[in-house]
């Protein structure tokens, strides 16, 4: 059977884990698992077959030779992936670079990159016969899980921090039938509780500690490189919260190199929010001292004080000679306003990528002639309150760029003309 051929081992102690049962953390040492694909050189044309059961030509499952092999009848796919890279001159100027690409993972079925990992995680859950799949979430994971569980005929259970989930994400989870439990406290508390629950009951945990999720998230990088004709950029920048994606990107680059699809490894740069930056502090200490923080930021998707994938992410940064930094909420919101104003749009956490690139170019960490691709992790509509808060309210501090306030007038042509005078006569 296929599942027996998947090699899973603990990255800390090397303990082996069978893929025929739910996979969470190492029972021996509490470490996280990684899937070893035992890759041999691959051909660039190896990715043209639909392995999602023939239903869709998925932008994840088309990369099957770089993924664990699951039984075809257990694959739950919603045609995820196949996202665009935008190259916009105004964005490049804002970053201080001649060119910068933004790969928009908000174009996935539920509006965030989480779908790429979820299709693999939920498919594995189905392959091992799980009936209940669960996650703790800052919002997007639960929206994605609700969707994929429903598509695969399973019940989803999500634990979320009460009152701290962006409206669009909560709405998706409710509408798509997740059993939702809100707990007092933050994401870190929600995840700790869920881990206790899944240790006691037959509930399959699909948080990003799950190695199958990371395998799916690798395809962001694989697809990006294919879009760039396998010419690696100098830098890949992404926001960092729980750091599953940073870990997945490191594994993607490792695997692509092992398969001889690239001969040069781009530098990964993870950007955190200043109020939720334990990884950035850890990096600044030369990966010597790690301390969890109490997280606070407008970018709720990265509001995490004790990232689960910290050590895997450290290895990704070390492997790629990468960098970690943090940006303020004002910097995030300003960068977001430029991304939005260019017609691209994203949720706040995503804009940390661009804010971080701008900061690192100014600081000389990124060369002014570097090729850079940033990841936009989620769709603008995920967090409509952040938009209205910025443009109509006080969010974003003094001097915020691109403020765009709707006005109200009485219903007469005269009033309309007076209001639009400047626009019509220019």
Ligand X SMILES: *Cc1c(COP(=O)(O)O)cnc(C)c1O
Q: Which residues bind ligand X (CB under 6 A)?
A: 112, 114, 140, 208, 239-246, 301-302, 347, 349-350, 377-378
Token pair in block for residue 32: 């996280």
Nearer to ligand X, 47 or 187 (CB): 187
Residue 300's nearest CA partner among 237, 383, 374 is 383
- Cα gap 27→20, rounded to integer Å: 16
Q: Sign of dihedral through CA atoms 102, 314, 301, 126?
A: positive
384 binds Zn ion (CB under 5 A): no
Residue 27 partner contact from ligand X, Zn ion, none using kind-dependent CB cut-offs of 5 to 8 Å: none
In angstroms, the Cα distances linking 375 to 26, 104, 169, 257, 271 are: 30, 6, 19, 21, 11
Q: Work out whether 27 is an interface residue with Zn ion (CB under 5 A).
A: no
Q: Find the shortest distance in angstroms from Cβ 8 to Zn ion.
A: 11
Tell me if 159 sits within 8 A of 183, measured CB to CB.
yes
Going by their DSSP bridges, the two strands 372-376 and 235-239 should be labelled as parallel
Q: Is 10 in the site for Zn ion (CB under 5 A)?
A: yes
Tell me the closest approach of the beta carbon of residue 313 to ligand X, in angstroms. 8
**Residue 301: which of Zn ion, ligand X, none does it interact with, CB under 5 to 8 A by kind?**
ligand X
The one of ligand X, Zn ion, none whose footprint includes residue 10, by CB under 5 to 8 A per kind, is: Zn ion
Do residues 28 and 13 lie in contact, with contact meaning Cβ atoms separated by under 8 Å? yes
Partner that binds at residue 29, options Zn ion, ligand X, none, CB closer than 5 to 8 Å by kind: Zn ion
- As a three-state string, the secondary structure of 74-98 is HCCCCCCCCCCEEECHHHHHHHCCC
b/e per residue, 317-350, with b = 16+ CB within 10 A?
A: bebbebbbbbbbbbbbbbbbbbbbebebbbbbbb
Among 6, 17, 25, 31, binds Zn ion (CB under 5 A): 31
Q: Is 303 helix (H, G, I), strand (E, B) or coil?
A: coil
- By beta-carbon proximity to ligand X, the closer residue of 244 and 266 is 244
Q: Return the range that interacts with Zn ion (CB under 5 A); candidates 3-11, 322-330, 341-349, 378-386.
A: 3-11
Please, which residue, 22 or 216, has the CB nearer to ligand X?
Answer: 216
Measured from the CB atom, the residue of 150 and 386 that comes closer to ligand X is 386
Q: Which lies closer to Zn ion via its Cβ, residue 28 or residue 403? A: 28
**Residue 251 C-beta: closest distance to ligand X, Å:** 12
The yes or no reply on residue 12 touching Zn ion (CB under 5 A) is yes
| Binder among 5, 21, 29, 393 for Zn ion (CB under 5 A) | 29
Does the protein bind Zn ion through residue 13 (CB under 5 A)? Answer: yes
Instruction: State the angle between helix axes of 329-341 and 348-362 in degrees (0 to 180), rounded to the nearest 10.
Output: 100
**What is the residue-wise DSSP string for 329-377?**
HHHHHHHHHHHHHTT----HHHHHHHHHHHHHHHTTSS-TT--EEEEE-
Give whichever of 14 and 54 is closer to Zn ion, judged by the CB atom: 14
Pick 26 or 154: Cβ nearer Zn ion: 26
Which stretches of the chain bind Zn ion, using CB under 5 A? 10, 12-13, 15, 26, 28-29, 31
């Amino acid at each position: 059977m296929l599942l027996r051929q998947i090699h899973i081992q603990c990255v800390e102690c090397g303990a082996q884990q069978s893929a025929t049962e739910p996979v969470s953390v190492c029972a021996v040492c509490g470490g996280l698992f990684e899937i070893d694909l035992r890759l041999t050189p691959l051909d660039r044309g190896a990715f043209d077959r639909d392995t999602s059961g023939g239903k869709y030509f998925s932008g994840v499952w088309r990369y099957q030779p770089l993924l664990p092999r699951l039984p075809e009848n257990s694959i739950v796919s919603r045609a995820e992936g196949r996202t665009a890279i935008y190259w916009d001159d105004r964005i490049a100027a804002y970053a201080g670079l001649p060119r910068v690409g933004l790969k928009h993972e908000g174009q996935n079925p539920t509006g965030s990159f989480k779908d790429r990992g979820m299709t693999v995680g939920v498919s594995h859950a189905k392959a091992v016969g799980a009936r209940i799949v669960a996650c703790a979430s800052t919002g997007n994971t639960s929206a994605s899980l609700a969707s994929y569980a429903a598509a695969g005929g399973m019940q989803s259970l999500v634990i979320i921090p009460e009152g701290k989930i962006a409206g669009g994400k909560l709405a998706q989870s409710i509408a798509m039938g997740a059993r939702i439990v809100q707990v007092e406290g933050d994401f870190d508390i929600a995840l700790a509780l869920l881990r206790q629950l899944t240790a006691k009951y037959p509930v399959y945990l699909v948080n990003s500690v799950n190695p199958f999720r990371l395998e799916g998230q690798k395809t962001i990088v694989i697809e990006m490189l294919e879009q760039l004709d396998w010419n690696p950029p100098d830098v890949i920048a992404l926001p960092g919260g729980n750091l599953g994606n940073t870990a997945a990107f490191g594994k993607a680059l490792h695997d692509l190199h092992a398969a001889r699809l690239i001969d040069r490894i781009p530098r990964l740069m993870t950007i955190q929010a200043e109020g939720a930056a334990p990884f950035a502090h850890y990096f600044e200490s030369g990966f010597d001292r790690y301390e969890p923080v109490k997280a606070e930021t407008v970018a709720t998707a990265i509001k995490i004080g004790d990232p689960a994938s910290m050590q895997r992410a450290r290895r990704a940064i070390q492997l790629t000679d990468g960098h970690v930094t943090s940006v303020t909420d004002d910097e995030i919101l300003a960068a977001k306003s430029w991304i939005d104003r260019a017609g691209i749009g994203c949720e706040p956490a995503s804009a940390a990528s661009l804010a971080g690139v701008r900061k690192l170019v100014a600081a000389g960490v990124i060369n002014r002639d570097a090729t850079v691709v940033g990841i936009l992790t989620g769709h603008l509509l995920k967090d409509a309150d952040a938009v209205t808060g910025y443009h109509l309210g006080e969010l974003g501090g003094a001097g915020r760029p691109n403020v765009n306030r709707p006005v109200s007038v009485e219903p007469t042509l005269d009033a309309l003309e007076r209001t639009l005078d400047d626009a019509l006569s220019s």
